[in-house]
Every structure is written in C-alpha cells, then in structure tokens.
C-alpha cells in the first residue's frame, strides 16, 4: 500500500421493494438490530467517508435508527421505479467527495470490516495500474460489495429501471480486480423467508447449527 491518502465513500442501498420477502426486509430483526444496520455499521467501522444510506419511504425512521452513527440518510421517492434510481441518488451524494465508492446492499448482514478493508487495500494497490473496480469472489462467484472508482460515477446516470450496474462492470471488465474471499457468508443476501431463517441460525454457534442449508450467494443483481 502506498502512502497516498485515498478517500473512499460508501453507498448502502436500503430502498428495495422486498417482493420475495413479503414484508420490508430491511427492518427484519437480526442479532438485536435491524437487518440494514449490519451493513451500515460495517461501513462506518471500516472508516468509509461519507457513508450514504439510501432509503425508500422510511427515511425518517432510518434516520432515528442510525442517529448514533456518522451516516447520511437520503430519501429516494422514486424507489418503486427500480434499483437504478437508488444507485443514482447514492452516487450523486458521494460525487466530488471521494476518490472511489463502495456500494453495499442492505440485505447482506455478514459483510465485514475485514472484507471492506481488503477491497480498499486491493484498490489502493492496483489503482496506479488502471484498476477502476474491485469485486469480491465467493467460491468462484463474483459478488458484492463492489468498489468503483470515481471516474465511473457518470456512467451510473445512464441506468434506468430495476437494474444494477452489471452493464458498467461488463464494460470495464478489463479494469476490474477480483478478490477471492474465503468467508462465503459475506456474499449471501437475504431475499426470502428461507434466507432469513438460515442467516438467523448463523448467529448461533456452528456446532449447534451446521451451515448445511445455506441461502444463496446474492448475485442476481449482477453487480451494482
């Protein structure tokens, strides 16, 4: 790692429709806190700055839920039009304030500070060689969170509808570093009631509940 100070912001997407869960999944209790707060705490504790939490219709409630943390909550009134609207609002909030941004999903509670640190270190180590994206790989499958260089922020303005940044990641594939990560739990998102039941068991010692009925690694969104 070189000595250059690189500022990396964080955007946490917490404005989804939760259609497969059947209720607002961001507020599901997990480990004594709402599901989305796990991602927020990981971003804050890793020193991301600024940390932007994109809400959809429940911004005031989220502001109260993270009042003890240095987090900016922004409302996305267009969240029903799809993920692209939240991505654009989050990226705009970071524009001009960071050299890169880590895009996190509010339904991935096992993303750790150590993973965020590793993604940041990889970006800093390879940035001078043209790296624009750093993405973790879980058991051979690329996943989230995704670190994106600020030079790519304008491309997010072109997104429309319920899509993530898959097209952007594909376009700049040659400028991407893939970081293998051993903890498969970090790549799992909570989309369904079955996923939720599984991740709740992970909070109990593994000898009591072996990881035999894992929810999937969350990759349908193809990158954000």
| Structural domains in the chain (count) | 1
Question: Where residue 211 falls among pLDDT bands split at 50, 70, 90?
Answer: very low
Q: At residue 148, does pLDDT exceed 50?
A: yes
Residue 220 lies in a domain: no
CATH number at residue 105: 3.90.550.10
- pLDDT tens per residue, range 5-28: 899 999 999 997 655 565 678 999
Q: Has residue 213 been placed in a domain?
A: no
The residue count of the chain comes to 224
210, part of any domain:
no
What pLDDT sits at residue 218? Answer: 54
Residue 56 is assigned to a structural domain of this protein? yes
Residue 1 lies inside a defined structural domain of this protein: no
Domain presence at residue 159: yes
Residue 136 lies in a domain: yes
pLDDT at 161: 87
Mean pLDDT of 164-182: 95
Q: What average pLDDT does the segment 49-62 reach?
A: 95
Considering the chain, what is the average pLDDT of its residues? 88
Model confidence over 92-129: pLDDT tens digits?
Answer: 999 999 999 999 999 999 999 999 999 999 999 999 99
| Structural domain includes residue 206 | no
Tell me the C-alpha distance between 136 and 179, whole Å: 5
Domain of 89, in residue numbers:
8-201
Q: Say which residues have a Cβ less than 8 Å from residue 132's Cβ, sequence separation at least 6.
A: 148, 149, 151, 152, 172, 175, 176
**What distance lies between CA 173 and its chain's CA centroid?**
19
Give the CA dihedral 93, 97, 101, 103, nearest 10 degrees. Answer: -20
Check whether 220 has a pLDDT greater than 70: no
């Amino acid at each position: 790692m070189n000595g250059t100070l690189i500022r990396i912001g964080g955007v946490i997407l917490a404005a989804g429709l939760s259609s497969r869960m059947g209720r607002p999944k961001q507020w599901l209790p997990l480990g004594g806190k709402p599901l989305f707060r796990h991602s927020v705490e990981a971003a804050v504790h890793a020193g991301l700055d600024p940390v932007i939490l994109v809400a959809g219709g429940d911004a005031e409630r989220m502001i109260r839920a993270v009042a003890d943390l240095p987090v900016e909550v922004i409302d996305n009134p267009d969240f029903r039009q799809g993920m692209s609207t939240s991505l654009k609002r989050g990226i705009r909030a970071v524009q001009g304030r960071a050299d890169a941004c880590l895009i996190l999903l509010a339904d991935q509670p096992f993303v750790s500070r150590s993973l965020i640190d590793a993604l940041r270190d990889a970006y800093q180590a390879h940035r001078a060689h043209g790296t624009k994206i750093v993405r973790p790989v879980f058991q051979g499958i690329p996943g989230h969170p995704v670190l994106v260089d600020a030079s790519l922020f304008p491309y997010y303005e072109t997104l429309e509808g319920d899509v993530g940044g898959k097209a952007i990641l594909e376009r700049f594939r040659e400028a991407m570093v893939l970081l293998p990560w051993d903890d498969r739990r970090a790549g799992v998102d909570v989309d369904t009631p079955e996923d939720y039941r599984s991740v709740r068991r992970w909070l109990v010692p593994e000898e009591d509940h072996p990881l035999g009925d894992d929810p999937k690694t969350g990759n349908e969104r193809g990158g954000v």
